């Protein structure tokens, strides 16, 4: 259904019960006034990930819209173009069998200040497949028992860029990019339960791609509880699934949502452009 009560200049159609909505009535190729942008941002905060269809933006307009949401930053492993270093190409070629970031995660939580948001636009898509799934980490925390919430709230977790399951999903793009820092390992400690700086809501902030252990504990000691959380936080009732079209654009909130690009289109090419937006220190 379309939420007409709260939004007056855009349409907002929820994609699933827990997370995700499509925004209509917006052409991102033009300069949007502050009133429209305020509603876009509110819809994003309300639904954690929002989608725009039929947006045929060149790199300059893509960056211009990103700057209305936050500050674009460069990705630490893959270089962007010389003209637009903040934009990286997320490409899977027909002969490749592993896709970039093909595991549930929140982007680059191994940085001291992980990105606030990520923006992705589809340039070329396979005839079928290549959807992206998203999971609501507010809800993942809120449905835990009060007892487990109390256990988790004081904990911190170590996040690393070197975990094998996610490292292999970026090998092709790192090789192609030729970045001299590609071999560097990043590691950061963050709270297991994060308070969103804009909404004030608490979200579960661990993920199977980057979180290796609880701070002050070994990996063996941490594994049973982390494995439970990894399975819990992506239960179907906490997720949505988006089917891309050329010109579709997604904007998601890395502070309270995870995503997983589905790798089910072997033999076809998929090309996306990505921008990440500067975040703050999780608290």
Domain ranges of the chain: 11-277
Structure token digits, residue 7: 């939004």
pLDDT of residue 173: 46
List the catalytic residues: 105, 107, 259, 274
Q: How far is CA 281 from the centre of its chain?
A: 17
> Which pTM value belongs to this model?
0.92
Look up tokens 């497949």; give the residue. Answer: 129
Do residues 246 and 122 touch, judged by C-beta distance below 8 A?
yes
pLDDT of residue 83: 87
Confidence of residue 70 (pLDDT cuts 50, 70, 90): very high
Do residues 257 and 140 touch, judged by C-beta distance below 8 A?
no
Residue 174 has pLDDT above 70, yes or no: no
| Domain 11-277: top CATH class | alpha beta
Q: Alpha-carbon distance 132 to 36, whole Å?
A: 26
Residue 31 has pLDDT above 80, yes or no: yes
């Amino acid at each position: 259904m379309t939420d007409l009560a709260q939004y007056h200049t855009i349409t907002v159609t929820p994609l699933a019960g827990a997370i995700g909505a499509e925004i209509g009535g917006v052409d991102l190729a033009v300069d949007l006034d502050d009133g429209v942008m305020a509603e876009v941002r509110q819809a994003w905060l309300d639904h954690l990930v929002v989608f725009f269809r039929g947006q045929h933006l060149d790199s300059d307009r893509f960056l211009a819209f990103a700057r209305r949401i936050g500050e674009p930053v460069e990705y630490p492993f893959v270089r962007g173009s010389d003209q637009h270093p903040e934009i990286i190409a997320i490409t899977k070629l027909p002969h490749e069998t592993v896709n970039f970031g093909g595991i549930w995660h929140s982007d680059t939580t191994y940085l001291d200040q992980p990105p606030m948001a990520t923006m992705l636009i589809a340039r070329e898509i396979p005839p079928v497949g290549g959807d992206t799934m998203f999971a609501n980490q507010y809800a993942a925390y809120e449905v835990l028992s009060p007892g487990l919430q109390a256990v988790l709230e004081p904990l911190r977790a170590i996040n690393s860029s070197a975990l094998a399951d996610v490292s292999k999903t970026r090998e092709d793009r790192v090789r192609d990019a030729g970045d001299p820092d590609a071999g560097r390992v990043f590691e950061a400690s963050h709270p297991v339960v994060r308070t969103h700086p804009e909404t004030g809501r608490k979200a579960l902030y661990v993920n199977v791609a980057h979180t290796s252990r609880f701070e002050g504990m070994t990996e063996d000691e941490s594994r049973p509880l982390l494995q439970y959380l990894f399975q819990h936080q992506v239960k179907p009732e906490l997720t949505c699934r988006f089917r891309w079209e050329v010109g579709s654009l997604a904007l998601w909130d890395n502070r309270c949502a995870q995503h997983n690009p589905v790798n089910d289109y072997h033999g076809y090419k998929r090309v996306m452009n990505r921008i990440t937006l500067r975040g703050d220190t999780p608290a």
